[in-house]
Amino acid sequence: MALSPNEIRDAIKYLESGKTLPDEYRFKLFEEKREVELVWNGKTNEVCNIVLPFQTIEQVDEPRGEKLKEIDQLGMFDTRGRQNRDWTNKLIWGDNKLILSSLKNGPLREEIQANGGIKLIYIDPPFDVGADFSMDIEVGDEQFHKQPTVLEELAYRDTWGKGADSFITMIYERLVLMRDLLAQDGSIYVHCDWRVVGYLRLALDEVFGKENFKNQIEWCYSGPGYWKEYFVRKHDHILFYTKSSTGIFNPQFIGYKSGIHVSKEGIVKTFGGGQKESMAGEIEQRGKPAEDWWSDIFATDRMRSEIVGYPTQKPEALLERIIKASSNENDIVADFFCGSGTTLAVAEKLNRKWIGSDLGKFAIHTTRKRLIGIQREKKEDGKDYRAFEILNLGRYAREHYIGINPNLSDDQKQAQIAKKEKDFVDLIVKAYKAEAVDGFRTFHAKKNGRLVTIGPINLPVTRLFVEEVILECIEKQITRIDILAFEFEMGLFPRIQEEARSRGIDLALKYIPRDVFDKRAIEKNQVVFNDVSYIEVKPRIKGKTVSIELVGFSVFYNQDNVAQVSEELKSGSSKLVIENGQIVKVSKDKLGIVDTEIITKKWTDWIDYWSVDFDFEDKKEIIRRKKENVDQPKLDGSTESKQQSLEDYEEIWTGEYIFENEWQSFRTKKNRNFEMISAPNEYASKGRHKVAIKVVDIFGNDTMKVIEVTI
């Protein structure tokens, strides 16, 4: 549609004054866009295309002793309950936008395509306010409410901080990346509730095409609920789309009772209000085709045997129906908001390959325990299973951790980066009671004769980050340093500390507490920077066998403090706090008298899980990195493009080793105890061997210790 002279004049005035054109100009200028679509502040067609290397932190494998037992008593190969070697399942910790982009554009893409591509994605994004990131944790007979980490809190703020706009911005870009990762016959199921279903339906229409919409499934459940001005809300929505018209679909059948009458001859007289007669036996065995409303699947709180203590956990029966419907055995199933790991657990049981990711360390840890439990069950039943590995994302560009507006010019971006970094550093330096310094690449302050560097605000400190710090220490002969961070990369210490020590550097790693954002806590000197946890073990050597005994574990956490909670607590109530590595129950009786009780009476109360790698330096960590001066690989799936992209990458040893999880013991909901001494490992040869011990505490944080034993 052509603009009139007056409209042209008015449009120029708007632009010259820096004002936004009124909405009607959008349709007049871009006539082809005159269709129903979802529009929000900040909408863009730009999609993240960064490629970060995946670092294998841990591999959960069958014990080395099991690998050696290839021949049974009859001299035949025993293949019952063995690992399939064609694919290693992947559990990835990190921001799923960066994970999706790195999967789509990086070397793992070829491995995924070689295994048929991703056939099914199920996601249950955080449509509820912060529910994925705070939780109740069992400590003895008490429940401790764990607050979200700062990284999780910031992720939540990015998602919900600006209302619906920020949620749609977050999910839209990820949906585009997921679509591009799906195989041509792949499907996606997006789980949500009344808060965002309207937005998501339009966003999915735009990303996947209205013609590829299949169902809006209503999952109905019952139970007590609260009402005030509306009916009790007791159903969720699951939006089902395919990437193309050739999506996989296997009809599912459910039992049917109402309206069926079986005669003595075994004939169904009525079926659903007058359907023609059919054989009753067939109906009873097969059931009726599942419809787009599901009322036969109970919520997880009714399925006590499945509960793993995660607030947004979904029932396995729900995922079983979805996975069976839209994938086949040996297909790859993915969940990029995996939470407690229900999708991955069901995929494992149904003999699917899987990829899962989550931002929360507690989610990764919960999923790891759950999947190890399933592996044990399958092995006992003589069924095959696959190893899985836990991955980190490696390098981060500065703009990815400082939160920069992508719509700014390059100069504006740099100015915003500098301003945000300075404000953040100033805040941490003040809370740490340090003195700011200039003239360094990596250091921000000094305190008590030690230089201080501060990690990024919403990404973990990585090995690359610490190596840059150590490099400056060597250049400038600095020997005592503190590194402060909200989160550290999995498996970072103690090896990075050992490396620093070998170069004459005293390196201390400390956690930045949430209290740094509380001005009152800073003013009252209540902010405590916690040291990383410490493990004590004792090897038990007998001949060529070694067992590891866990003899001590120290933590230094703080969450709230006794004095402040004592002041704010209402009479007749109680609250658990963490102060200097102890969980303390603060109670106030009806008369206002405060009493305290230490809940963590022994160091084992802090441990949820521990595992052993009996030959730690047996497996090098190899990453695939794109060669210099090579364009992005083609993604059309052809053999030629796969070969070309494989040649574009080189394999490099990072200098680190993969923790091979050969033995583990952990608490479960049913059994709160764990073993203190590992099973013995028999070495094939005498000599020195390095043994790595990993402990995961009740909050999902991991600590590792490496010792040397001589046989």
CA 190 to chain centre: 17
353/340 Cα distance (integer angstroms): 17
Mean pLDDT of the chain: 82
pLDDT tens, residue by residue, 687-705? 999 999 999 998 888 889 9
- Cα 596 off chain centre by: 35
**pLDDT reported for residue 311:** 67
What confidence tier does 628 reach under pLDDT thresholds 50, 70, 90?
Answer: low
* Residue from 657, 631, 659, 658 nearest 645 by CA: 631
Rounded to whole angstroms, how far apart are CA atoms 110 and 36? 37
Phi first, then psi: give them for residue 506, nearest 5 degrees.
-90, 105
pLDDT (0 to 100) of residue 73: 36
For residue 206, what are the contacts with CB-CB under 8 A and spacing of at least 6? Answer: 37, 38
> What is the per-residue pLDDT across 74-132, written as a single tens digit (0 to 9) for each?
333 334 445 566 799 999 998 899 999 999 999 899 999 999 999 999 999 986 554 44
- How much of the chain exceeds pLDDT 90, in percent? 44
- The DSSP string of 4-20 is PHHHHHHHHHHHHTTPP
Question: Mean of the pLDDT values across residues 304-319?
Answer: 80
Query: Distance (Å, rounded) from C-alpha 635 to C-alpha 633?
Result: 6
In contact, 159 and 96? CB cutoff 8 Å: no
Which residue, 394, 368, 477, 480, is CA-closest to 655? Answer: 394
Does the bond joining 494 to the residue before it have cis omega, within 30 degrees of 0?
Answer: yes
For residue 70, the model assigns a pLDDT of 40
pLDDT at 677: 97
Q: How far, in Å, CA of 577 to CA of 558, rounded? A: 8
pLDDT digits 0-9 by tens, 498-545: 889 999 999 999 988 877 877 777 777 778 888 888 899 999 999 999
At 218 the pLDDT is 97
d(CA 448, CA 435): 10
- The answer to whether 36 and 611 have CB atoms below 8 angstroms apart is no
For the record, the structure tokens of 622 come out as: 């190899």
Instruction: Give the C-alpha separation, 470 to 504, whole Å.
Output: 10
Tens-place pLDDT, residues 555-583:
888 778 888 899 889 999 999 988 888 89
Is residue 679 over pLDDT 70? yes
Q: What is the pLDDT of residues 370-429, one digit of tens each?
A: 999 999 898 888 888 889 999 988 654 444 444 455 555 667 767 776 777 788 889 899
Which phi and psi (to 5°) does residue 213 adopt? Answer: -70, 130
Q: What is the pLDDT of residue 257?
A: 58
- Residue type, position 263, single letter: S
The pLDDT value recorded for residue 20 is: 80
How far is the C-alpha of 383 from the C-alpha of 64, rounded, in Å?
19
Using a pLDDT cut of 70, give the percent of the chain over it.
81
Check whether 144 has a pLDDT greater than 90: no
Query: In sequence order, which residues have a C-beta less than 8 Å from that of residue 567 and are 6 or more positions away?
Result: none
Cα of first residue to Cα of last residue in the chain, in angstroms, is 85
Instruction: Please choose, from the candidates 241, 65, 183, 80, the residue with its C-alpha nearest in 3D space to the C-alpha of residue 612.
Output: 65
> What is the structure's pLDDT at 276?
46
CA–CA–CA angle 76, 77, 81 (5° rounding): 135
